[in-house]
Chain A
Amino acid sequence: MSSHNRSQSSARRGDYVWQYEYYDDEPVSFEGLKAHRYSIVIGFWVGLAVFVIFMFFVLTMLTKTGLTHDPKKDDDSDDNNAVSRAFLAESRSYFNFYISKEGEGKDRLPFDGLLADETRTDTDCDFLSHFNIPNFVTCEHNSSLGEDDPLSKGNSDCLALAEV
């Protein structure tokens, strides 16, 4: 982005220079500096790096420990299952890969599924279609495993459940 001194229209016509110079009207005195010249630059970048690393550690810590509200009933009772299933249906776009990846291990990470494209697999659509939920979200025409996944061919069934 180039700039020029806009406050003086005469300068605009006479001294307009097309380059990246910026606000060089008054020469800045560099004598008597107590700290290093680039102290703002260094301080800013160090602060930024610290912020990013701090954020990463906070997120990792949130992952490992349970900092949010701890549900008291932690066992697999039937009530809990019903509640879990209802919640699963509610947050289907997050949980679909859990259903599809039950046996697959750590390949597909939970939040990657959240942030990546929300793809629905065949098993997911079958599972959630049991709830007879109206206005079911369209199952997209692909699979999270890639285009050579044999499941992807069955995805077109899911389209029948959707309203557009």
Chain B
Amino acid sequence: MNTSMNKTDCPELTVPVPVFFTIGVFSLMENLLVVVAVIYNRNLHSPMYGFMCSLAGFNTIASLAKTCENVLLVFADAGQLEKIGSSETKLDDVIDSLLCMSFLGSIFSFLAIAVDRYVSVFHALRYHNIMTMRRTGTSLGIIWTICGVSAMFIVSFFDFKFIMIFFVCLFLICFVVICFLYVYMFMLARNHARKIVSVNSGGAITLTILFGAFVLCWAPFFLHIIIMAVCPTDPYCECYRSLFQLHVLLLMSHALIDPAIYAFRSAELRHTFRKMLPCS
């Protein structure tokens, strides 16, 4: 193998740390606001808001972990932090586990929100019997436990290709299920809307935003994982992998825009924000 070229032609794209910081801090504030608003307002103690709160909670953890990591990186680059040490390794493992947990949790929360909406549309009369608060609490507990345990497994046994494959398959399965649920709901809604008024493409725009954001923000990172497993030495793959920081940035920005897509569309939640914030 020709090893004369030690420098790569695809230099790693570095995202400036202030950008990471800004996105991390803003997303942290937004999601924390959503979590606090849902807990604070008793009207919002329903399954739908419970799942949104869980999504915001996972995004909060992701933003927090990422921001901490950025702080530690800044310290490490400035020489304040010892780069070689068991405590730093452990800290890195903890942060990676938290990030992994929050990513998994986001996916499961999307799935839960989609299932909740599906039940509310197609089984509206039995909605309160199907989606009781106890079942919501149980499913949220299961989601958080599974995510926490899976994250620890994934980070501990990251070497095994099986773990990566499992991670990717999970993402694909959840994405397909969410896709199916929403498109089915949309088709049924459109079918019955034809009788009433001509339906313009507003629904299409909403769905496109929902899915477009999910796909645009998550797919690059997952392709990165796949490429890491499949072709670590290929030059084309190397050029793709050089954009790693950009892919992580996209994941972080999804945590930033999630509240806008899910939570802030709710009038009740906006009303709660206005009551909570002192400046209104």
Contacts and interface: CB of A to CB of B under 8 A. Distances in A.
A99 B266 CA distance: 19
A78 interface: no
Interface string A103-128: 00010011110111111000000000
B279 interface: no
Nearest to A26: B233
B268 A141 contact: yes
Interface string B239-252: 11101110010000
A135 B3 contact: no
B196 A98 contact: yes
B92 A2 contact: yes
Contact of B206 (A87, A106, A112): A112
B236 A62 contact: no
Nearest to A47: B219
A141 to B, nearest CB: 5
B215 A48 contact: yes
Q: Say what secondary structure dominates the interface of chain B.
A: helix
A93 B128 CA distance: 12
Contacts of B211: 52, 55
B128 A137 contact: yes
A28 interface: yes
A63 B216 contact: no
A150 interface: no
A22 B43 contact: no
A102 B186 CA distance: 20
A27 B192 CA distance: 60
A59 B269 contact: no
Contact of B84 (A14, A162, A163): A14
B149 interface: no
A1 B99 contact: yes
Interface residues of A, number: 79
A4 B76 CA distance: 15
Interface string A1-34: 1101011000011101111111100111111010
A44 B208 contact: no
A112 B244 CA distance: 35
Interface in B117-168: 117, 120-122, 124-129, 158-159
A21 B14 CA distance: 11
Given A31-B2, A37-B235, A112 B202 contact: yes
B125 A133 contact: yes
A10 to B, nearest CB: 12
Nearest to A39: B236
A59 B207 contact: yes
Given A52-B216, A135-B125, A116 B3 contact: no
Nearest to A88: B192
Interface string B54-93: 0000000000000001001100110001011000110010
A131 to B, nearest CB: 9
A69 B192 CA distance: 11
B231 to A, nearest CB: 9
A18 B267 contact: no
Contacts of A39: 236
Nearest to A149: B267
A26 to B, nearest CB: 6
Contact of A62 (B2, B7, B69, B186): B186
A46 interface: no
B96 interface: yes
A23 B189 contact: no
B172 interface: no
A1 B248 contact: yes
A146 B268 CA distance: 9
A18 B10 CA distance: 21
Given A38-B10, A143-B267, 7 more contacts: A1-B69, A18-B72, A37-B236, A66-B191, A89-B124, A92-B124, A98-B193
13 contacts: A20-B14, A20-B245, A27-B3, A27-B5, A28-B5, A60-B201, A68-B187, A68-B191, A111-B203, A112-B265, A117-B265, A135-B125, A137-B127
